Amino acid sequence: MPIPSGPLVVALLYDGLCTFEFGVVAEIFGLARPEMGSNWYRFASCPVDQGPMRAHGGFTLVADGAPALIEQADLIIVPGWRGADAPVPEPLCRRLRNAHARGAHLASICSGAFVLAATGLLDGGTATTHWRYADQLRRRHPDVEVDDASLYRQHGRVFTSAGSAAGIDLMIEIVRQDFGAAAANSVARRLVMSAHRTGGQAQFLERPVPQRKGSEIAPLLDKLRASLRTRWTVDEMAAECRMSVRTFLRRFTEATGTSPGDWLIEERVAWAKQLLCQEKLSMDDVAGAVGFGSAHTLRHHFRRQIGISPTEYRARFIAELQ
């Protein structure tokens, strides 16, 4: 079995460790994957606190690494945090800032975003966290734009993700960026990841960004998401990308795996799911806001995409919060 010699991934251990979040990181980056070759990730964990540390589930941890590992890491991951109100030690913030300054990537799962925000490295950027913590993160770090709709966000070399399961999505995305789509798909298959997760948060969050083979289409996708109410034509989209219609359609399909029309429908349905979580909005309000025009059109596409009506979706979401 080849000994990995690739990027060093370091996960932080702390008193009150979120066990599932740490397990996600260890499974993706610490599991032996000989099929990936010798340039695959190396994995280690290092302590934030001294002495034995408690973890969720009733057991204690004794780290076999040292805080100095942060100084060697290519990617440092904060697997949750001991509480949204728990202070972040300044020595840890300083180590993370120094690591980032020398070129390391930083990532967090769920409440771990509070640690990265405390470093100041997210100031002026956009981050996400679990929707339950979003308002607290906004109040504590007003210089950070908090997106409580996305599964994960990237600000330069700093990544944040939403709830625990969204951490899996982010970790696989990091694999994709480092080693390509084939490697990411291999990891996902081994995890038995489904293409579409159902359940409360997964249904009202945005889908992860699809695989992109080039950067030409990315700015357009961002613009389309920001203006879903607008009626875009293929000609207008092609002109926005400064391409012929034929080239645009080919590049768009390569980047997203679908046609512009179907992509817009998927994005409008995804945005409708978020708006349906607001009880005060009528179906006509939601339909108009996402660009479907009428409640009838919304119901048609929503049922085709999700398998249930918008009304039933709203009822299920509210029931899960109670």
Per-residue pLDDT at 201 = 39
17 plus 125 within the same structural domain: yes
Report which of 72, 66, 59 is spatially closest to residue 22, judged by C-alpha positions: 59
Same domain for 28 and 167, yes or no, is: yes
pLDDT over threshold 50, residue 12: yes
Judge whether 20 lies within some domain.
yes
d(CA 43, CA 6): 10
Asked if 46 contacts 80 with a C-beta cutoff of 8 angstroms, the reply is: no
Average pLDDT, the chain: 86
Q: 103: exposed, middle or buried (C-beta count within 10 Å: 0-12, 13-18, 19+)? A: exposed
* Total count of domains within the chain: 2
* 164 contacts 112 by C-beta, under 8 angstroms: no
90 located within any domain: yes
Contact 288/254 with Cβ under 8 angstroms? Answer: no
Classify residue 122: in a domain, yes or no.
yes
Shared domain check, 237 and 107 = no
Tens digit of each residue's pLDDT (9 = 90 or more) over 124-157: 999 999 988 999 999 999 999 998 878 889 899 9
- What does the alpha-carbon distance between residue 267 and residue 235 come to, in Å, rounded to a whole number? 19
Q: Indicate the pTM of the whole model.
A: 0.63
